[in-house]
Structure 1
Amino acid sequence: MEKICRGIVRYMALLVVAAGVLGALCPRTLTWVGGYVSWMLGLVMFGMGMTLSFGDFRRVLQEPRRVAIGVFAQFIIMPLVAYALVALFRLPPELAIGVILLGACPGGTASNVISYLARGDVALSVSMTMTTTLLAPVVTPALTYFLAGAYIEVSFSSMMLSIAEMVLAPVLLGLLVHHFCGRAAARLAPVLPLFSVVCIVLLVGGVVALSSAKLFAVGPLMALLVVLHNGFGLALGYAMARFFHMDSRQARTVSIEVGMQNSGLAASLALLYFSPAAAIPGAIFSVWHNVSGSLFANFWVRRDEKNHRKEVVWE
């Protein structure tokens, strides 16, 4: 069972693409997902909480400067890049709110896996994901209201409450289960990623199905914006970390954390508060950031191996 779970998680990007294609070509098969968005996202965040411990909170206190720089980069770079892209391409309101909402969300849970594969600082990655997720109920609605208020009316209090229910509460519940039911959590740990992947795949497929009528008209443009958004996040996140004198492992970790958003949350909030069209950027991002993250990790592994060979030759 554990091998099956690992295989499914490994091919998550392909499964997400398949769900998106199914939602676009046969929308009736996945439109039912719309009624279960908040529950599915809550399950994903509960799984994330199960991977955390109170020791992770102590780590944040032990390394406040690095985590603070990473969190600052996360909530400054991605929202501003989103706003710049919206202004540059003059997007209509329903698409503009989707891009800005995506930029205002915290880091994605997949970033921890990508940081590990890229030989980054996994502890820093977990600390950043945890901190941005806990701040999300306040920061995400505030950024969305500030940057998108001119495009569409945003209910700050309602969005904050929804994020607390869908993100904060499940994460804290998962943390408590991990702490007080350690043995049970250890048994469930290999299976939880499977449930997370299934939920994310269904979320993406459902979003595409609900917005299939508009997807073929705006899909190419949204794909371009998502690639640019993600690319600028990875590049600027790395540059900011190096500017503050972080080493290569820490800088690549910050880069991954900044570039990989919680796109499932963005799509869910878009469906709950705006329109299916506003969820399109989050759905496309869910596919692309797994692909780009894997390529990014492969780049750093190859570079480390190349540098290691040079050091051996010089010795």
Structure 2
Amino acid sequence: MPAVRGRLDQNAPLGAQSWFGVGGAAELLLRPADAEDLSAFLGALPPELPVLTVGKASNLIIRDGGIPGVVIKLARGFSDIAVDGDGIVCGAACLDRTVAEHAAAAGLRGLEFLAGIPGSIGGAVAMNAGAYGAEITDVLDWAEIVNRNGQFLRLPVEALGFGYRRSSLPKSAVVVRVRLRGIPGDAAAARARIAEIKAAREASQPVRARTGGSTFRNPSEKESNSKAWQLIDAAGCRGLRLGGAQVSEKHCNFLLNTGDATAAEIEGLGELVRRRVREQSGVDLHWEIKRLGLPGVTGSEAA
């Protein structure tokens, strides 16, 4: 492996780092010191090795068999944040809520919705995260990435091919820094809006449980006039269990690890919900949570 100034570990457990608290290990886990360290590593890495970036793992199911190849996790060297005129420039490891609060303190409106999105800015860009009537594509000016060859690129928002909960980032590229555009306004009003969003999220979602956020994307208008949670509820899935996994009774588009679930049980419960919704309404729900890695080995397979 190429030398790094950060940290490179073999067979590194990932489950405890995910919001669900489940999953296997990374074959190799890289925590680069900074963007230059990441660039040098990727530039020297054999091209046949797969590369995957994991942020705060707030919307991931890491499968029990772990993730082959190199998993990249950005940390302290990617957490700088600064006001830049009418915007915020920040590293990809910054928490979404921290960016919202920093913008509000600077009197910048329009970024308050980030307070309602768990995870980090890099992940938010990768999936065009959104909530409370706004999404990343509405506020992003540019994103700096390091591609699989180790090259730095600054891509304007138009180059990222944003759609509903997706982007067209180059394969295996890592978002390292972004600029988010705000609107100069009243700081007190921005802080008040963030407080409203946090209260609404607390009241409607199981934020203190081991969960992965919204499980399924809302259907398009052509598919259904109902939201995903309404279809799940109508199919009788509220509170449904599979092993240690459960559909939340508070918000049934959330899956929970009640304490001893495996990744296979959580994913299996999601597929059971999809099947029941399809049978009840004819709507095919699509996963919003990313499912990564290899399935675990069962006892019979191990024998």
User: What band does the TM-score fall into relative to the shorter chain?
Assistant: under 0.3
Length-normalised TM-score, structure 2: 0.24
TM-score, normalised with respect to structure 1: 0.24
**Higher helix content, 1 or 2:** 1
Per residue, is there more strand in 1 or in 2?
Answer: 2
- Higher RCO (C-alpha 8 Å, min separation 6): 1
